[in-house]
Chain A
Amino acid sequence: MFDCANVEIRELLPELVAGRVDASTRARLEAHVRSCPECASELEALRLVRDAFASAPLIDTHRIVAALPKPPAPVTIRPGQPASVNRWVGWRAAAALTMITIGGLSVAVSRRFGEGGAESTQIDSTVVIALPESAGTTAIDTPARSGGESTATSGQHPAPRSVTKAELSFNGGVGDLDDASIQALLGALDEIDRAPVAPSAEPDRSSVLPVIKGDDR
């Protein structure tokens, strides 16, 4: 017994028997089988097999269906409320809670580091202004330094006979000062403006110097 050499045709014969080929393939196969005794005998054997094993006991479909698990329950939505609302309410609540938490943490962190940062970068706002004898010395001090520690450095100028102090307390920038403090500061500056020029030939570099705490750098 020989087999047909056309492997493609032979491979399609069982699909022809099972009815799984389209019309054009079926026509091509049937034309080949008419001229090929090997394929004709093979097709006959396949049809015998199909007929011998095609019979199956009758199956009670309804009994099987009754034994099947129930389909999953469809999603129920409250009347008048679209499904998307249910979904978004939860998300919005979660987002709000997250924002509140992040905000609270940010405040706490900024306060902590803000205090530390102020310590590390705080400029002692003591301004020592050396005035000529007639004008005296004006010192603007911050509460961080006691008034006694605020030393006026007059450079080459003789010690003033009288000292006028305008003590201002502020932390941070000039923007933090209240109106009274600003007025006091402006008054002190006016007093400086009114003072005569110092007789020194060399400008006194220490006349206006912010004193920076050494341990803060």
Chain B
Amino acid sequence: MAKDHEPNEDFSDLELIARWRAGDERAATSLVARHAPALARFAMSLGQRSDVEEVVQDTFVRAFGSIESFRADSSLRTWLFTIERRLILDRRRGDRRRRDDAAIDDGDAATQFDALDGLVAEEAEARVRMAVDRLSRLQREVFLLRVNEGLSYKEIAEVVGSTEGAARVHYHNAMRAVKESLYV
């Protein structure tokens, strides 16, 4: 699979977008291969346990359908995260309406992650997972975007629709909670 898009591997995201707009469909393959794993991780960090690939696909379809609105003020990955987050929240609202049930709140995600505990070999990792699951949804999003993706507070604020200062506070609160779960 990787060999299909090797010639485009050295191009930046903006160059690949330009090539795709010029008719090079292999540029789209490179962009998807480059960002899909991070989008899948982010979807899971938002509590998305099923249909992760479908969410990732919908994210790319929506992004490529409105690629002219991407202004490169932020990175492409940040923009994709923003789209994916909105998609997941919309899905949850739809599910909530259909089920006429309670919203997937902060506790629901923890319950979903609990099911994975058996798959986690090391105890420390399980404790970390539990600690992250107990975070509020916004804290969890901010924390995992910072740790797993290395996004800056500015980029995180763009994704979650908050401010840099708020993102910083959420990160440090989450960090304290995770350390307490490990060392206290």
Contact = CB atoms under 8 A, between A and B. Distances in A.
B138 interface: no
Nearest to A3: B176
A42 B184 contact: no
Contacts of B57: 63-64, 67
B173 interface: no
Given A45-B128, A71-B25, A53 B182 contact: no
B179 A56 contact: no
B32 A65 contact: yes
20 contacts: A1-B180, A18-B147, A18-B149, A41-B179, A48-B125, A48-B182, A49-B143, A49-B144, A49-B178, A50-B147, A51-B125, A52-B120, A53-B44, A56-B38, A56-B40, A64-B32, A65-B32, A68-B32, A68-B64, A74-B23
Given A61-B1, A71-B24, 17 more contacts: A17-B147, A17-B150, A41-B179, A45-B179, A48-B128, A48-B182, A50-B147, A54-B148, A55-B41, A56-B38, A56-B40, A59-B32, A59-B36, A63-B53, A63-B57, A65-B28, A71-B28
A193 interface: no
A190 interface: no
A82 interface: no
A3 B36 CA distance: 35
Interface residues of B, number: 48
Interface of B is mostly: helix
B169 interface: no
A53 B53 CA distance: 16
A14 B28 contact: no
A15 interface: yes
A20 interface: yes
A57 B146 CA distance: 20
Interface of A: 1, 3, 14-15, 17-20, 41-42, 44-46, 48-57, 59-65, 67-74
Contacts of B146: 14, 18
A67 B52 CA distance: 15
A52 B24 contact: no
B147 A57 contact: no
Contacts of A74: 22-23
Contact of A61 (B20, B24, B33, B171): B33
A19 B150 contact: yes
A49 B147 contact: yes
A50 B149 CA distance: 9
B129 interface: yes
A62 B175 contact: no
Contacts of A14: 146-147, 150, 171
A62 B65 contact: no
Question: Which are the 7 A-B pairs with shortest beta-carbon distances?
Answer: A18-B150, A56-B40, A20-B150, A59-B36, A48-B128, A56-B41, A64-B57
